[in-house]
Structure 1
Amino acid sequence: LQTVGCMPPPVSSAVILTKAVGGNEAAAIFNSAFGSFLGIVITPLLLFLFLGSSSSVPFTSIFSQLFMTVVVPLIIGQIVRRYIKDWLERKKPPFGAISSCVLLMIIYTTFCDTFANPNIDLDKFSLIIIVFIIFSVQMSFMFLTFLFSTRNNSTFTPADTVAIVFCSTHKSLTLGIPMLKIVFASYEHLSLISVPLLIYHPAQILLGSLLVPTIKSWMVSRQKALKLTRQPKAPVKV
């Protein structure tokens, strides 16, 4: 689970769920983008700090691979977009469906690589326990962040709370798996330490989707209550 805690926030899932509820989408986008860039540096350092010594690790090689894997494609995409922006707005390619398919392929291939490894040494009972722990941990963190952002002296709006609940508890699989493969390329138990992240990502999407109606109902009622409290009271006629 330490590997999950070291991972950066996701690029899309938290934003999509925040938008579905009607929360602060701008804050969610900023958190996802900024957190992903920070993760290129912070995540490897945290992994080395919690999971092993960094004395013999070639930092230059690791960061250069991460830069080529994560940053360069993003920069190229932004440059290309400037020249084909009008065409994209006219044609509107199904990038959402394409990204979902690619993400599904990443999850599927990673699952196959992980559980096809004969050295994984993970029985069914242990896997069930891991799933239970991950769901429990994620629900607990979502509840704690909700309590924190809705405390009496909090300055966060209900829309901010929605973004906080989703963005602070979600972790990126698309960035996390490449980072683990680069940082622990020669580690024989790489498949084993990837399992919690493989389970956490679908779990966060499933839990988030199930909680969307409940959180949306709370946000709407909370916004109405705040609006009523801010309205000036009518003077009492004598």
Structure 2
Amino acid sequence: MKFSVINILKKEWFLACMVVAIVLAALIPQVGQSDGILHLNKVTDIGIALVFFLHGIGLSPQALKNGVSNWKLHLFVQCATFVIYPMLWVIFGQGMLSIMPHALAFGFCFLFVLPSTISSSVAMTAIGKGNIPGAIFNASLSSILGIVITPLLIQLFMGFEGVQLDIMSSVMSISKMLLLPMIIGQVLRPLLLSTFEKHKNIVNKLDKYVILLIVFNAFSDSVSEGVWHSFSFEYVAMSVLICSVVLVSIVQLMVWTTKRLGFSHADEVAAVFCGSKKTLAAGIPMAKVIFGSDPRLGMILLPIMIYHPLQIFYCAVLANRYQKKAFAI
């Protein structure tokens, strides 16, 4: 039993550390708060830039070229990400605002308008014997489109609730934080790729370390400002339930739709995984820019923090099923 727990913790260290970061924020918020002892607001900005610089180095231009021609797949994935998901807020947003704190409801709004994730979408597609070039292209395209579309949708949806954003400022800030380092990484890829490959294990964990620092910082700020005083466990349970229902419903809708559209097995796998997933790695930095120093940031981030492990688990199960199906074909 002891060894099984240790093995689980080793395997799921990131999720365990997210919990630890939240607990530490509750116990010692003065350490993690912005402009506190560690100055995490500045440290995380540097970390985010470094992570996306490394993403730029690791992104293969050839893989993007190989995936560019499948317009049917591209259209499906981008519509799923930036149309179907946001429609959930259009349909259910007012209901959410009426049953939970507005910051938590806005967190779901933010979750629904986020772009897809790159690394896990491609990884799940590979496991499921899907269209890997198509997955790389769509996940990357989604991330780039999200730099503009996510702030626009946030303003559109949350503007009705009196939340005003400087759209151009948000887009420019997100571009500088995420896109510019990625472009620089692409430019320097020929020079740095061999070094990148040698240290890939460390590089692959760096984004998780940065996310943990951002989570610690965001929750420390919200604890310091007393945001959680009126928050109950019921809201956490409600958030888990909503995230679970949304994830399963969206995935099953995509499975059903891709079959009706006559997608091949490879394209179906890529479409389902790229279209259903939401990015934590880019989402948290985006939230930092869009919501700035809002002390409710920790609560706003809660839905994506819950959604992330759920989508990893559920999509991993689905990827294994797709793999068995591919071998049976």
TM-score, normalising length: structure 1: 0.82
Is it true that 1:109 corresponds to 2:213 in the alignment?
Answer: yes
Residue 155 (structure 1) shift: 2.9
Whichever of the two has the greater Rg, that structure is 1
**CA 100–77 in structure 1, closer or farther in 2 if over 3 Å, else same:** same
Between structures 1 and 2, the one with greater helix share: 2
Q: Match of 1:162?
A: 269
Aligned-partner Cα distance in 1 for 2:248–2:264: 21
Q: Match of 2:189?
A: 81
Q: Which amino acid aligns with 1:170?
A: K
Per-residue displacement from partner, 1:204-233 (whole Å, max 9, x unpaired)? Answer: 112122222212223333xx2xxxxxxxxx
Per-residue displacement from partner, 1:73-128 (whole Å, max 9, x unpaired)? Answer: 1111111112244x44xx83132x23432232234334433444221343222212
The answer to whether the 8 Å contact 1:111/1:198 transfers is: no
Is it true that 1:147 corresponds to 2:256 in the alignment?
Answer: yes
Q: Match of 1:69?
A: 177
The answer to whether the 8 Å contact 1:134/1:199 transfers is: yes
Q: Match of 2:326?
A: 219
- From 191, 197, 201, the equivalent of 1:92 is 197
Q: Which amino acid aligns with 2:198?
A: P
The answer to whether the 8 Å contact 2:211/2:284 transfers is: no
Aligned-partner Cα distance in 1 for 2:165–2:215: 27
Aligned-partner Cα distance in 2 for 1:55–1:209: 37
**2:276 counterpart SS class:** coil
Aligned-partner Cα distance in 1 for 2:180–2:124: 27
Q: Match of 2:317?
A: 210
Residue 71 (structure 1) shift: 1.0
Residue 129 (structure 1) shift: 2.0
**1:197 counterpart SS class:** helix
Aligned-partner Cα distance in 2 for 1:134–1:57: 26
**1:9 counterpart SS class:** coil
Q: Match of 1:138?
A: 247
Q: Match of 1:125?
A: 234
Aligned-partner Cα distance in 2 for 1:169–1:127: 22
Q: Match of 1:233?
A: none
Moved more, 111-120 or 12-21: 111-120
Moved more, 12-21 or 117-126: 117-126
The answer to whether the 8 Å contact 2:130/2:270 transfers is: yes
**1:173 counterpart SS class:** coil
Query: How many residue pairs get matched?
Result: 216
Structure 2 gap segments, 5+ residues each: 1-107
Residue 57 (structure 1) shift: 3.4
- Compare relative contact order (CA 8 Å, sep 6+) and give the higher one, 1 or 2: 1
TM-score, normalising length: structure 2: 0.61
Aligned-partner Cα distance in 2 for 1:106–1:132: 27
